[in-house]
Amino acid sequence: MKKFLLQYRTTIPLAVLSILVLVLLAARYGLVALPAWTEHLSPSKTITVTASPLGTTNKPVQVLRTGSVESPKSAPVQTEFVGRISEVYVTEGQLVKAGQPLLKIARDVSDKRETTEAAPAYQSDVKSPEAQANYDNALKQYTRFKSLYEQNAISKLQLETAENRLQAATDALASSQPTTPAAEPSQNGTSSAPSDFITVNAPNSGTVTHLSAIAGTNVGPGQQLMVLDVGEVLVVIHVEQKDLYLLHAGTPATIETAGQTILGQVATIYPEVGANNVSSFRTHINIPTNTNGLLKTGMSVNVVINTAKSLPVHTLPASAVSQSEQGTSYVYLIDNGIARRQEVTRGETIGNLIEITSNLPEQALIVTSNTSIINEGDHLTVQN
């Protein structure tokens, strides 16, 4: 034994010292537990910090949706019969007035389809160009009011008012029906069936868009030939029933598109049944000013509705929440003067506060300063 000690008299102390250093390092990083009396061998640094408990803040409630831009008064021009376009009088982007001729169609008179509903758009002598538009608007309003009445959202008096308006529009439409246009001789004499030439007039004033009518092409019932865009737009979103208490006519909304924001207001809300019989509520947002045509029919936009409601949420100062290289958020709790790292789930940022959606121990004290220099297990002194 003596010979062994003499032979390794320089190696043994180095080995013991190395083992001691490894044990202390392991204890420092929590890999092994050491008795309390060993703490003086490698004391942790003491850091002065500020701290606060988990707070509560009233968070404004917002409704966030993706919506679409629509033109409520735009009118699609469609055919209601079989025929052949003989002449087109307008071009894409042209501004037209109500009653102005758009195109002429040679109708195949052998086609027996009923076209009563579309009569005001297909006539050679229009008595009241607005009659069809008034009827369509009255019918849409009555249908919407009927759905709202069935859900106890409006009074019976409102429904009856809409019904009376629809009846008046129906009578006005009936009295303005045109006489059957007289047949004109075929221009080329090659038609395979007898035909009448019918002039299609603009149902309202607007700009010609989506023009697809081409002279010499055949058309069928329901085929869209063009759209008359009046330039006014609104944004449509769909909300769930649980959101209805947050919205009402006049609720402010912000429309975001192309890096710009446009202010609007909720105008109307009414029920709608979509695909797979899923019920939702179609919400119209009026846009007072279309900022030089920034919003165009058919485009998708983001909508933020700022409700007047709020709800209490747990928050911490932004300085208390740190983020790891892996992207997780964490805070330091003070446990009998020792720093303990705790991962958290963060919500929205509210001013200089951050919403905390995960649970933290009750009465926990959270470090709010010097978090960048703190490590797990450091000794902390809380500054008053």
Any idea where the domains of the chain sit in the sequence? 1-42, 62-70+232-311, 75-228
Interstrand relation of 379-382 and 46-49 (parallel, antiparallel or unpaired): parallel
pLDDT tens digits for 19-71?
777 766 665 555 555 554 444 444 557 899 999 999 999 998 889 999 998 87
Q: How confident is the model at residue 97 (pLDDT cuts 50, 70, 90)?
A: confident
| DSSP secondary structure of 186-214 | -SSS--SS-EEEEEEE-SS-EEEES----
| Least confident segment among 132-146, 221-235, 247-261, 290-304 | 132-146
Contact 329, 338 (CB under 8 A): no
The CATH code belonging to domain 75-228 is 2.40.50.100
Q: Which residues contact 4 (CB under 8 A, 6 or more apart)?
A: none
Six-digit token string for 330: 């964490």
DSSP 51: E
Q: How many CA atoms lie within 13 A of 195 on its CB side?
A: 24
Q: What is the pLDDT of residue 202?
A: 86
Quote the CA–CA distance of 327 and 321 in Å, as a whole number.
Answer: 12
Q: What b/e readout covers 330-357, taking b as 16+ CB neighbours within 10 angstroms?
A: bbbbbeeeebbbeebebeeeeeebbbbe
Contact 103, 200 (CB under 8 A): yes
| Least confident segment among 86-100, 105-119, 286-300, 319-333 | 105-119
Q: How confident is the model at residue 119 (pLDDT cuts 50, 70, 90)?
A: very low
Q: What is the pLDDT of residue 287?
A: 84
Q: Which residues contact 239 (CB under 8 A, 6 or more apart)?
A: 63, 65, 247, 269, 280, 281, 283
pLDDT over 70 percentage in the chain: 72
**Spatial CA neighbour of 92 closest among 211, 230, 225, 200:** 211
Contact 333, 363 (CB under 8 A): no
Please determine, for residue 375, whether its predicted confidence score (pLDDT) is greater than 50.
yes
Sheet holding 218-219, edge to edge: 195-201, 101-108, 83-88, 218-219
**Spatial CA neighbour of 110 closest among 130, 83, 91:** 83
Give me the architecture of the 62-70+232-311 domain, per CATH: Beta Barrel (2.40)
Please determine, for residue 357, whether its predicted confidence score (pLDDT) is greater than 90.
yes
Q: Which residues contact 236 (CB under 8 A, 6 or more apart)?
A: 67, 68, 69, 70, 282, 283, 284, 285
* 162 φ/ψ angles, rounded to the nearest 5 degrees: -65, -35
Phi-psi region of 206 (alpha: psi -120 to 50; beta: other; left: phi over 0): left
Mean per-residue pLDDT for 262-284?
82
pLDDT tens digits for 181-195?
434 433 333 334 445
Reduce the DSSP state of residue 243 to 3 states and report it: helix
Contact 237, 303 (CB under 8 A): yes
Contact 200, 122 (CB under 8 A): yes
Residue 168: its H or E element: helix 156-175
**Spatial CA neighbour of 192 closest among 122, 123, 112, 106:** 106
DSSP 71: -
Quote the CA–CA distance of 75 and 205 in Å, as a whole number.
Answer: 9
Averaged confidence pLDDT in the chain: 78
